[in-house]
């Protein structure tokens, strides 16, 4: 569930375009977090993804 090895990093440059051209897969992961009941294990796993230089995105209420 926490596999993110082929996710683009901040230093990946044209890696996304190369992946598309080579028909490589880009793994993505969606994690739902309940702000009323935070799970320390989930937060730690997301922190590890960030420390490895992987991309994290989250929706906002902005329209």
User: Would you state the pLDDT for residue 45?
Assistant: 87
- Please state the domain extents for the chain: 1-63
Q: Provide DSSP, the chain.
A: ----TTS-BTT-TTHHHHHHHTT-----------TTS--HHHHHHHHHHHHTTB------S--
For the residues 10-21, what does the mean pLDDT come to?
Answer: 61
User: Would you state the pLDDT for residue 7?
Assistant: 58
The model's pTM: 0.47
């Amino acid at each position: 569930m926490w596999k993110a090895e082929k996710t683009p990093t901040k230093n990946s440059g044209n890696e996304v375009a190369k992946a598309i051209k080579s028909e490589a897969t880009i793994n993505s992961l969606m994690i739902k977090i309940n702000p009323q009941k935070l799970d320390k294990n989930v937060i730690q796993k997301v922190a590890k993804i960030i420390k490895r230089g992987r991309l994290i995105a989250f929706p906002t209420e902005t329209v």
